[in-house]
Chains A and B, each alone.
Chain A
């Protein structure tokens, strides 16, 4: 984008060279912890940049080339190289990069998740300072979408407002879980998104499982036949 453009203005035709820095950062985060021969390589990159008050928000779509797998500890049979299509969102503030979103899937995957695209694009808005003026409108719209999708009903307006605040808080939690996951999982809106952590844990989980002592059973014999 030309220098001097107003903060918040969107630049949809950013030069490729501007995207390479954030793309390489995203690749570095993706490959973190991998041995040299197991690192993915960056393919094509395209994206857009939005200018914020103190930095830039990059939304990238990149192809990554996963190397073939010949390590029997990882894959019992050799696996040929794979191409992944990844969506990254990187915030660049005062020269410091932060990965806000990483979502990768094989290019031949049948799972489409257009709905989560909207939810995930909304999350960086929560980190902006100051928050966008139309944030509450966006929040209400996405919450309404959730209520419709999962057929949620609330008895009072006050409860609905409370559940919306829980929903927004959970979207931030989901974003953090996403950022810290080292697999390919995508986290976001689910039918449990209007429950507090305490409610979810109390209703759906099983605290007895971590208690000791538990009844001992005999140990099964290992499978030795091929």
Chain B
């Protein structure tokens, strides 16, 4: 893999969004991944609808949580995703208002990725931003910098937040993952979180996945 990579520099990442008072991080992680996959395959960056997943993915639990693997299946079953503008985010569950005519993006499949962080870096640089799930220890009070909590405090067994890997690199020889969060731009580094790379910090390597767009 290249020594550093950032999909934000390549135009594959939409602006940071805000899930509001709703546990819908899973939807934001997945739409972020699909946005990247569509951009790489079709050359068009579209901001996609999380509300469609919140309302219409009946396997997941809307604001009470969900799994990216279920969300990918829901997108396939529904037939695709509408854009953010067409199906705007409200931050709470409502009746599914999906319209097949308004679908702008579809996916063909989804895959689970390696737990090896070097392989994840290579996959990211080659294929696009990656949906991951992490232990959110410390994130309530995170302001900036590269987070590296002690392993017992940030166990990979207690993953509780889904986010999007958009890049990686080094700051002062400390390797990091650049992570797009969904708590607005007034949190962290303009909405981004930087987590130590290479040590399995906070379980970042445990649940990596991506949609596949042919």
What is A's interface to B at a CB cutoff of 8 Å? 66, 68-69, 73-77, 79, 82, 84, 105-106, 111, 113, 116, 150, 170, 173-174, 177, 180-193, 195, 197, 200-210, 214-220, 222-223, 225
Interface contacts beyond A105-B145, A214-B69: sample of 6 additional A-B pairs, CB < 8 Å, sorted by A: A185-B138, A185-B148, A190-B143, A204-B183, A206-B66, A209-B133
Closest to B59 in A: A215
Interchain CA distance A173-B123 in the complex, whole Å: 36
Interchain CA distance A79-B169 in the complex, whole Å: 12
Q: A113-B144, A206-B23 are in contact. Are A220 and B210 (CB under 8 A)?
A: yes
Which of A182, A183, A189, A191 counts the most chain B CB atoms within 10 A?
A183
Q: A180-B150, A191-B187 are in contact. Are A222 and B122 (CB under 8 A)?
A: yes
B140–A73 CB distance below 8 A: no
Which 9 pairs across A and B sit closest by C-beta, in order of nearness?
A: A183-B148, A208-B65, A69-B173, A185-B145, A76-B3, A220-B111, A174-B141, A206-B65, A215-B69
The residues of B that contact A222 with a CB separation of less than 8 Å are 114, 119, 122-123
B175–A177 CB distance below 8 A: no
What is B's interface to A at a CB cutoff of 8 Å? 1-3, 19, 21-23, 25-26, 60-61, 64-67, 69-70, 72-73, 109-114, 119, 122-123, 125-127, 133, 136-138, 140-150, 153, 157-162, 170-175, 183-184, 186-187, 189, 194, 196, 198, 207, 209-210
B111–A190 CB distance below 8 A: no
Closest to B111 in A: A220
Interchain CA distance A206-B22 in the complex, whole Å: 9
B65–A220 CB distance below 8 A: no
B141–A188 CB distance below 8 A: yes
The listed residue (B19, B70, B123) touching A223 by CB distance below 8 A is B123
Interchain CA distance A215-B72 in the complex, whole Å: 10
For residue A137, give the distance in angstroms from its CB to the closest CB of chain B.
Answer: 23
For residue B65, give the distance in angstroms from its CB to the closest CB of chain A.
Answer: 4
The residues of A that contact B119 with a CB separation of less than 8 Å are 222-223
A220–B141 CB distance below 8 A: no
Interchain CA distance A196-B119 in the complex, whole Å: 38
The listed residue (A73, A200, A214) touching B198 by CB distance below 8 A is A73
The residues of A that contact B149 with a CB separation of less than 8 Å are 177, 180-182
B175–A195 CB distance below 8 A: no
The listed residue (B25, B146, B150, B153) touching A206 by CB distance below 8 A is B25
A209–B143 CB distance below 8 A: no
The residues of A that contact B26 with a CB separation of less than 8 Å are 206, 208-209
Closest to A177 in B: B138
Interchain CA distance A103-B147 in the complex, whole Å: 12
A216–B112 CB distance below 8 A: yes
Q: A184-B172, A223-B122 are in contact. Are A206 and B111 (CB under 8 A)?
A: no
A193–B60 CB distance below 8 A: no
The residues of A that contact B174 with a CB separation of less than 8 Å are 183-184
